[in-house]
Amino acid sequence: MACGADARASSPSLPVDWAVHDAAGLRIAAPATWGAPQVLPATDSSRGPRAWIVFRDVSGAETVTLMTWRDASASRLAAEQYESEGREAIRRQS
């Protein structure tokens, strides 16, 4: 569903002034005034698919940008960040 009138029916907890957008294989809820997102294709260092999803406000200013990451779950990214911060803390102590 791309920012359709039935977005509220499929997401009853969605605030009245928000809409649901389909972008790069994701369903994203955002303020309706932002309009449809722009999807910019990109590739990662292994040449795998990735996308930048850009929302702009009514003035055209970039409001939020999301980057998809190939083969990565939120828990994997969080674990890698946690391990990275742990390594940095150990480095600082030495």
Show me where the domains of the chain are located: 7-93
pLDDT, tens digit, for every residue of 23-56? 888 889 999 999 899 998 777 666 666 788 999 9
Q: Cα(11)–Cα(80) distance, rounded to whole angstroms?
A: 32
Whether the predicted pLDDT of 1 surpasses 90? no
pTM reported for the whole predicted model = 0.58
Q: Cα(8)–Cα(18) distance, rounded to whole angstroms?
A: 9
Q: Are 53 and 41 in contact (CB under 8 A)?
A: no
